[in-house]
Amino acid sequence: MSLSAHEFQFVSSLVRREASIVLEPGKEYLVEARLLPLARKAGLASVTEFMLRAQGPSGRADRDAIVDALTTNETSWFRDREPFSAMTDLVIPNLVKSRGPSRSMRVWSAASSSGQEAYTLAILLKENLPPGWTYEILGTDISTEMLAKAERGRYSQLEVNRGLPAPLLVKYFTRSGPEWEVAAPIKKAVSFKRLNLAAPFPPMPTFDVVFLRNVLIYFDVETKRAVLKRIRNLLKPDGWLFLGAAETTMGIDDGFERVVTGRTSAYRPRTGTSAPVGVTGKG
């Protein structure tokens, strides 16, 4: 059974209003795939029944669940290796040179979903920073359900099978019943907070590196521009921004310059005073 035009319209207006996410026609399959588990969880026979309940006067919790379900990205450890290789080969050595006096680094996983990216970054820094350096990772997401999962830091065997090298699994995780739990020293370096990227940010510290992957694709151009500007204001002048493989700042925010590194790109504030590193792309 496929979603009716009315149902799709309801869902797309809801996520546009609550999360500034644009669901264009043609994404019906995505909506249906994400809502089916919600219907099952609610003990209802179909997505249509679930939609009826969500649109009713007592459907607030269902509507929140819909926003949650449609703003959640699948993440999995080191699977998308390129940005992490860029971190170890280029960004960390570069920042270690320039952050010598403070010996500390702050990284933001700006759409942290169930937490894998934030913990991956913590593991990466732990493995690659010289002794005596400190680091903190902030993970933010719009989905309270995902934040709760991220904070627990417990993952199923299926989840740890996906893209987490076995030597790192045994080094940084402990078995906890059927699940694997992120070890305390890594957990201690990571905190999670709810944040809607599409709305003005609360007061936040500045960051050396921001990971904002596979989020901008959901926003319209105006929202993309506003998000990138807000992030630029929180990025240190010689900091680094990583976007998803299908995303760019080009033509949206001229305040960033692109740096090609390996098979991926990173972005730096154009006003940065540090010497350029790598090859600057033309766009």
Contacting residues toward other proteins, per CB under 8 A = 76, 78-82, 157-158, 160-163, 165-167, 169-170, 173-175, 263
- CB contact at 8 A, 214 and 111: yes
Q: How near is the Cβ of 179 to other proteins at its closest, in Å?
A: 11
Q: How near is the Cβ of 85 to other proteins at its closest, in Å?
A: 10
Residue with tokens 């080094």: 171
Alpha-carbon distance of 220 to 215, in angstroms, equals 11
Residue with tokens 């080191």: 78
- CB contact at 8 A, 66 and 11: yes
Q: How near is the Cβ of 77 to other proteins at its closest, in Å?
A: 8
Is 220 among the catalytic positions? no
Q: How near is the Cβ of 156 to other proteins at its closest, in Å?
A: 10
What angle is formed at CA 146 by the lines to CA 63 and CA 267, rounded to 5 degrees? 110
How does strand 154-155 pair with strand 134-141?
unpaired
Is 34 among the catalytic positions? yes
- CB contact at 8 A, 240 and 91: yes
- Give the tokens for residue 205: 């510290």
Alpha-carbon distance of 21 to 30, in angstroms, equals 13
Nearest residue (CB) to other proteins, 5 versus 166 = 166
Nearest residue (CB) to other proteins, 76 versus 112 = 76
Alpha-carbon distance of 173 to 180, in angstroms, equals 6
Of the candidates 62, 141, 208, 253, the residue annotated as catalytic is 141
Q: Which residues are catalytic?
A: 34, 141
